Copies of this chain bind each other. A is one copy, B any other.
């Protein structure tokens, strides 16, 4: 069975050595010194490896059951959930006014990586609750917040997000679920929602569904969509639970992975719902949580890569097969461990270099969200909005590939469920699909974010990277050659691609047909950027003799791998992009 160890040292390195979070003047960050975060991360790592990770295979194998209208989670899930609740983890970054710990969001990103790596399907129960919490916190009336949030912060009540219907996912304007206004100000909700993660289960007293629906008589299409709070069990004004609401589970889906999470078809048959925020502004309400939710999914992609990678390393050191061509490494054994073989190393280095870069990128994203939210920093808001589709699309695509590579290290054993490597790929696969399929992320990036605010955030980022390159190159010759040069090249290629899109505005398909490659180029540039930052820090630490030199040396080497072996992908993406839309669009639909 796979194991998992929380990468506390790596997280600490990024938080303190690279992002210097304690120096940030963001409200709440003054607390975040090295010892404090070490304590939090250490505790989260412990729960992850000891409590949550052991249930990962269990969840995959048992799945959830659905009998007589009741959804049951796998063995042990309830107890683990209780431990999570009792430790206050479900409300780590929630508002203290409703019982939360009030910690900065970046800490949730850091601990969340570990929790998700330990058990993605399990962590989706509190994860979805957090999403619903945020929506109510941002858009609810005081009375609504008082009524729903305290129990959601503790996960005594969990939450869900209901968007998709059988005939509409990306295009929510086609929505059919209706909301009929009632005399008491509530609504009767009727319709069917599908793919509802954590839709129902046996781990909480109540489930608070957030449901998108159209108020009868409202505008057509996406402009007529409103957001509603629809509890599974009615709650009176004193907060006591009453009768069942007219919402039920129609089915629990059989999925490729995340078997431990109940993906439900939810039927609303005139269920009582309460308008959240303004009527017909439901999509806007959903969008306010989007950066956070999408970064969260990006971190899930990374997290599966981390868990898979850790096990691949253990296997590669343990499995004896063949001999090192440059000289026997294990003369007392019948063969050398496969980690001696260059192609096994290639796979591990591809994973490792991605993972550590992605972690820094993800935590930077968390920092920007805190800046935007807590310091009301408009520049940070613009930047994180630009980076969000990249964080979601690139980290999940690459995260998935990393799990496939980790599985490949195991050879035939990787294909046998008993070894657990298949689960990482099957679970990671969903991250490329939900919360906006990655093609939709690419569209968001190129069709919306690149030109947002007159292109200011994009230009500011390019300028920032340019300035940083100059500064970094001046500091260290080796860094200049091994890191800054490939970063500069890639960044120029990225801008060239953006210019290509702008210059062919009359052929919007050129941009759309190149959007996916652009998203990946953008991801590589961001990882090249954070790797160069990390390399500078590592070199400075080595020079000063401060801390664990071997640790910093490994960072430097891993970064050099990324720059030498992953950044060249940018030139390929640029070539694909500038080949234009013509070959992509030339065929008639019937020619496929």
Contacts and interface: CB of A to CB of B under 8 A. Distances in A.
Given A342-B512, A342-B513, A583-B561, A550 B432 contact: no
Contacts of A584: 342, 345-346, 349, 561, 565
A564 interface: yes
Interface in A314-337: 316-317, 320-322, 325-326, 334-335, 337
A575 B575 CA distance: 15
Interface stretch (A204-212, A234-242, A252-260, A472-480): A252-260
A169 to B, nearest CB: 5
A586 interface: yes
A313 B576 CA distance: 22
A317 to B, nearest CB: 6
Interface string A414-452: 111110001001100110111001110011000000000
Contact of A560 (B557, B568, B583): B583
- What number of copies of this chain does the assembly contain? 2
A174 interface: yes
A262 interface: no
B313 A592 contact: yes
Interface string A155-185: 0000000001001111100100000000000
A567 to B, nearest CB: 9
A512 B322 CA distance: 14
B408 A438 contact: yes
Nearest to A587: B557
Given A408-B433, A591-B554, A322 B422 contact: no
A412 B169 contact: yes
A437 B405 CA distance: 12
Contacts of A417: 253-256
Among A255, A256, A443, chain B packs the most CB atoms within 10 A around the CB of A256
Nearest to A168: B321
Nearest to A566: B576
Contacts of A87: none
Contact of A437 (B257, B408, B568): B408
Main secondary structure of the interface of A (DSSP, over half): helix
Contacts of A337: 589
A404 B437 CA distance: 13
A412 B164 contact: yes
Interface residues of A, number: 90
Interface string A248-289: 000001111100000000000000000000000000000000
B439 A408 contact: yes
B515 A343 contact: yes
A339 interface: yes
Given A342-B581, A434-B412, A568 B575 contact: yes
A194 to B, nearest CB: 8
Contacts of A587: 345, 349, 554, 557-558
A565 B579 contact: yes
Contacts of A414: 433
Among A340, A417, A557, chain B packs the most CB atoms within 10 A around the CB of A557
Contacts of A335: 171, 174
Contact of A408 (B170, B411, B432, B561): B432
A572 interface: yes
A422 B592 contact: no
A228 interface: no
A576 B353 CA distance: 14
List the 4 closest A-B pairs by CB distance, nearest first: A342-B512, A568-B575, A256-B422, A564-B579
Interface of A: 164, 167-171, 174, 194-195, 253-257, 313, 316-317, 320-322, 325-326, 334-335, 337, 339-349, 352, 404, 407-408, 411-412, 414-418, 422, 425-426, 429-430, 432-434, 437-439, 442-443, 508-509, 512-513, 515-516, 550, 554, 557-558, 560-561, 564-565, 568-569, 571-572, 575-576, 579, 581, 583-587, 589, 591-592
